[in-house]
Amino acid sequence: MKIKKGDITELHIEKYAFEGKGIAKVSKNELLGINEEDGNEKNYVVFVHGTYPGDVVKARLTKIKKSYAEAIAVEILSPSSDRTKAKCKYFGLCGGCKQQDLSYPKQLEYKQKQVGEIFNKLGGFIDFSTEPILPSDNVFFYRNKMEFSFSDKRWLTKKEISSNDKLSKDFALGLHIPKIYDKVLDIDECLLQSDLSNQILNFTRKFFLEKNISVYSTKTHTGFLRNLVIRQSFYNNYLMVNLVTSDEDEILLKEFANNLIEKFPAVTTVVNNISKKLSSVAVGDYEKVIYGSGFIYDKIGDYNFRISANSFFQTNTKQAEKLYQTTVDFAEFNGNETVYDLYSGAGTIAIFISQKVRKVFAFESVQSAVEDAKVNAQLNNISNVDFIIADLYKSFLPLVEKNNLPKPDVIIVDPPRSGMHKNTVDDVIALAPEKIVYVSCNPTTQVRDIKLMAEAGYKLVKIKPVDMFPHTYHIENVAFLKK
């Protein structure tokens, strides 16, 4: 009997893979339903979404390849002892918090193991140390930024479908359904930001529903409302509401802002980003400040940072301090170093390390981020950091040579999830710093880049995972390399 996509089979979950999939190892012959003597016995790996080690499940096969299969759990026959009850009523529907039904100590344990396995198996690294993962002090309400989407296609839950309630099927404000780009789950609370954020979410929905304002369609590219982004300071009393729309409507937005501020005096600024893009990215082509300064302010360690609507700022403020302190600890600064900070964003790392080194040159591709960084340096009276616009997807070495910059003793890199461009890796190797500290939100691309550095004579000394995003499979990792 040949197995096929859609078949349901019973599986025992033994391990847990990176990106949140349980692993079952079965006999391929057993899965095919043939006797062992009819063919060579082979182990076959099945990755099962929604499962944890210790689970016994019925799972529906969704992909069948020569050496592995993928499946999704349809029934938990015997739950793992590590399971816990998820707090969020939308768990399993929206795209976030996929590990909320796994105890937090186990989340940390698996993340630590997974990072180690990535460096062992993908990188081939053996002779290095792994420091214990840094847990997040807050496992709920830890985000300083939440991005909600409007949609003209509301995803209806089974409960909503079976109810007699009259629902607006062509208006939703909430979070996306996984792998379905055009449908949004209409939610009234998220446990990742503050309760005040949830109140603003519900107020915004009610305000625009009552006014019958159109929602942007990803199919026809018409409609007004696109995103609601709420940014909230962790250490200061600042709160930004950013409404992303497809066009301007000054009268409507002022009415919204006036009503919002009257209801929620804690709101310190209201911004309108206007996006003409076809893609569903919550960043405008330009913005208009409706109320307040258009900025909020927050702290990491002893330093203050100005955050605009589209600034990059670590979303777990408290944990960011631990991440940056790990960077400092790994670098072991003596105070006389010249440091290059690549992918420097709004200057958070460069400013955080500035008083521990002689000079920092911070390189960033995005002009607006460089402008934010310069403001942040002024806010903190920092004078030993130079912020430089540089294309880190080509080669920044000619810029170094043209400006006759001193060679770095230490290079810190903190690239996006895609990792470093090979040209940038080559530039780092050519500059030959004594130390490299690599901060990453994606260990798989991090290890790819570090392999290239190792081949060029650098030794991986140690790594340390930092859990910035509880209840998700995402993990930050800091790696230290020495020449």
171 SS3 class: coil
User: For residues 18 and 473, is the Cβ–Cβ distance under 8 A?
Assistant: yes
Does 378 belong to an annotated binding site? no
Residue whose pair of structure tokens reads 């018409």 in the numeric block? 222
116 SS3 class: helix
Q: Which residues contact 297 (CB under 8 A, 6 or more apart)?
A: 233, 236, 238, 304, 305, 306, 307
Distance CA(327)–CA(349), nearest Å, equals 9
Residue 166 gets which letter from DSSP?
-
Q: Which of 88, 97, 190, 441 is catalytic?
A: 441
Q: Is 94 a catalytic residue?
A: no
User: For residues 132 and 466, is the Cβ–Cβ distance under 8 A?
Assistant: no
| Strand pairing category for 459-466 and 129-130 | parallel
Residue 354 gets which letter from DSSP?
G
Q: How far is CA 296 from CA 114, 274, 351, in A?
A: 36, 19, 18
* Cα distance from N-terminal residue to C-terminal residue, the chain: 56
Tokens in use for 440?
């990453």
φ/ψ (deg, to 5) at 173: -135, 115
Q: Which strands, in side-by-side order, build the sheet including 68-78?
A: 8-12, 56-64, 68-78, 43-49, 21-27, 15-17
**Between 422-431 and 443-455, two packed helices, what is the crossing angle to 10 degrees?**
40
Does 386 belong to an annotated binding site? no
Tokens in use for 423?
């040209």
User: For residues 347 and 376, is the Cβ–Cβ distance under 8 A?
Assistant: yes
Distance CA(155)–CA(161), nearest Å, equals 10
Does 367 belong to an annotated binding site? no
Q: Specify the amino acid at residue 19.
A: E
User: Residue 68: in which H helix or E strand, if any?
Assistant: strand 68-78
Does 189 belong to an annotated binding site? no
21 SS3 class: strand
Cα 86 versus chain centre, distance: 21
Residues contributing to the annotated binding site for S-adenosyl-L-methionine: 314, 343, 364, 414
Supply the residues annotated as catalytic: 441
Residues contributing to the annotated binding site: 314, 343, 364, 414
